[in-house]
Amino acid sequence: MAVTGIPCSNDGGRVRRIAALALGLALLAAPLLGQADRGSRGARAARPLIVFMSDFGTLDDAVAICKGVMLGIAPDAEIIDLTHQVTPYSIAEGARLLARTAPYYPAGTVFVTVIDPGVGTSRKSIVLKSKRGQYFVLPDNGLVTPLADRDGVAGVREIANRDWLLGHSMSSTFHGRDVFSPVAAHLARGEDWTLAGPVVTSLARLEIPHAVTDERGISGSVVALDGPFGNLVTNISGEAFGQLGYAHGEPARIRLDGAELTVPFVATFGDVPAGAPLLYVDSRGLVSLAINQGNFAQSHAVTPPVALVIYRK
């Protein structure tokens, strides 16, 4: 039985012509699609960054309120939480975390840091621009001391521009909401940072203790705990420790908060059995003490700051 319809030969030719036309259109569109994709990636890369740190904790609404203020002014900003678990009122801890984190972010990043036991007093609220091109919005209470010493200061402005604040009725106890968050958002939106207010010529400084090396060894201190693990973070650099003569695998003699201990110097946790102590140089280049799969701070009842001496070999 004959089948009526379009002849097979004509149908095949039409299919080939359509396929060729589609291929041509695809080749013509490919550069445009590539440009659009690159443009999309560029737009994502150009999204302004705000890095937010506080001692507010996350049990109540303070962090969410501050983020709402920022996004209300700079809706395109990406807000990254450094941490909100800074020990309450610990300017030294906030300063250490801020200085440690900033090098991993690009120029133009805005850091807003609220560890502010002097809120509502005569202490200044400031914007500092570092020589790396980053901005730091925070109280003038020493928080930027280690960062400024390392990265340099391009300029400092006191926050006095009322157009950059949250309304005209400002709380004396929540500058995180009313001052630091809106100012950070204005900067993230690309506004001229010098409009924040008048030039500041001197900053409050944090007194930072430094380790001292002598004929006995190195005298320093435990300055913090490493996350939930209970590792002890010290102010003794790996470079300074290297001058004491210890090789990996050798026992190091230490005096921790008055107690004499001997702890093996190793490269990493797995170099000692589970439950055993170790002394190592951490990812920051600082001497640390830990227990493999344990908690050194709890085992030795250590609450920073405490004195630490590492004796020469």
305 belongs to a structural domain:
yes
- DSSP secondary structure string for all residues of the chain: ----SS-HHHHHHHHHHHHHHHHHHHHHHHHHHHHHHHHHHHHHHTS-EEEEEES--SSSSHHHHHHHHHHHH-TTPEEEEEES-PPTT-HHHHHHHHHHHGGGS-TT-EEEEE--TTTTSSPPEEEEEETTS-EEEEESSSTTHHHHHHH-EEEEEE---GGGSSSSS--SS-HIIIIIHHHHHHHHTT--GGGG-SB------------EE-SSEEEEEEEEEEGGGTEEEEEEEHHHHHTT---TTSEEEEEETTEEEEEEB-SSGGGS-TT-EEEEE-TTSEEEEEETTS-HHHHTT--SSEEEEEE--
261 burial type by CB count under 10 A (0-12 exposed, 13-18 middle, 19+ buried):
middle
Specify the pLDDT at position 8: 44
Specify the pLDDT at position 167: 78
Indicate if 56 and 190 belong to the same structural domain. Answer: yes
Indicate if 150 and 287 belong to the same structural domain. Answer: no
Contact between 278 and 292 under an 8 Å Cβ cutoff? The reply is: yes
Indicate if 189 and 282 belong to the same structural domain. Answer: no
29 belongs to a structural domain:
no
Q: How confident is the model at residue 13 (pLDDT cuts 50, 70, 90)?
A: low
Indicate if 84 and 190 belong to the same structural domain. Answer: yes
Cα separation of 305 and 80, whole Å?
29
Of 153, 172, 196, the domain-final residue: 196
Contact between 306 and 241 under an 8 Å Cβ cutoff? The reply is: no
Question: Residue 291: is its pLDDT beyond 70?
Answer: yes
Domain span including residue 171: 49-196
CATH number at residue 263: 2.40.30.90
Question: Residue 9: is its pLDDT beyond 50?
Answer: no
pLDDT, tens digit, for every residue of 161-188? 999 999 766 889 999 999 999 999 999 9
For the ranges 23-27, 173-177, 241-245, 262-266, which has the lowest average pLDDT?
23-27
66 belongs to a structural domain:
yes
Indicate if 161 and 289 belong to the same structural domain. Answer: no
16 belongs to a structural domain:
no
Specify the pLDDT at position 94: 97
Indicate if 71 and 186 belong to the same structural domain. Answer: yes
Of 196, 221, 245, the domain-final residue: 196
Token reading at 233: 């973070």
Q: How confident is the model at residue 19 (pLDDT cuts 50, 70, 90)?
A: low
Specify the pLDDT at position 46: 73
The count of domains in the chain is 2
Contacts of 63 (CB under 8 A, 6+ apart): 52, 54, 56, 81, 84
Specify the pLDDT at position 38: 52
3 belongs to a structural domain:
no
Indicate if 189 and 53 belong to the same structural domain. Answer: yes
CATH number at residue 155: 3.40.50.10790
Contacts of 5 (CB under 8 A, 6+ apart): none
Indicate if 181 and 243 belong to the same structural domain. Answer: no
Contacts of 208 (CB under 8 A, 6+ apart): 92, 95, 145, 146
Percentage of residues in the chain having pLDDT higher than 90:
81
| Residue 8 CB neighbours (<10 A) | 9
Indicate if 60 and 191 belong to the same structural domain. Answer: yes
Tell me the one-letter amino acid at 294: G
Question: Residue 143: is its pLDDT beyond 60?
Answer: yes
Rounded to the nearest 10 degrees, what angle do helices 62-73 and 181-188 cross at?
30
Angle ∠(37,105,91) on CA atoms, nearest 5: 150
Indicate if 186 and 216 belong to the same structural domain. Answer: no
Give how far the C-alpha of residue 138 lies from the chain's centroid of Cα atoms, to the nearest Å: 14
Indicate if 171 and 76 belong to the same structural domain. Answer: yes
Cα separation of 212 and 229, whole Å?
27
Specify the pLDDT at position 20: 56
Tell me the one-letter amino acid at 196: A
Specify the pLDDT at position 5: 42
pLDDT, tens digit, for every residue of 64-111? 999 999 999 999 999 999 999 999 999 999 999 999 999 999 999 999
6 belongs to a structural domain:
no
Of 164, 196, 228, the domain-final residue: 196
Indicate if 220 and 177 belong to the same structural domain. Answer: no
109 belongs to a structural domain:
yes
Once rounded to an integer, what is the mean pLDDT over residues 291-301?
97
Once rounded to an integer, what is the mean pLDDT over residues 37-46?
52
What's the mean pLDDT when you consider all of the chain?
A: 89
Quote the pTM value: 0.81
Contact between 293 and 301 under an 8 Å Cβ cutoff? The reply is: no
Once rounded to an integer, what is the mean pLDDT over residues 260-287?
97
Q: How confident is the model at residue 1 (pLDDT cuts 50, 70, 90)?
A: very low
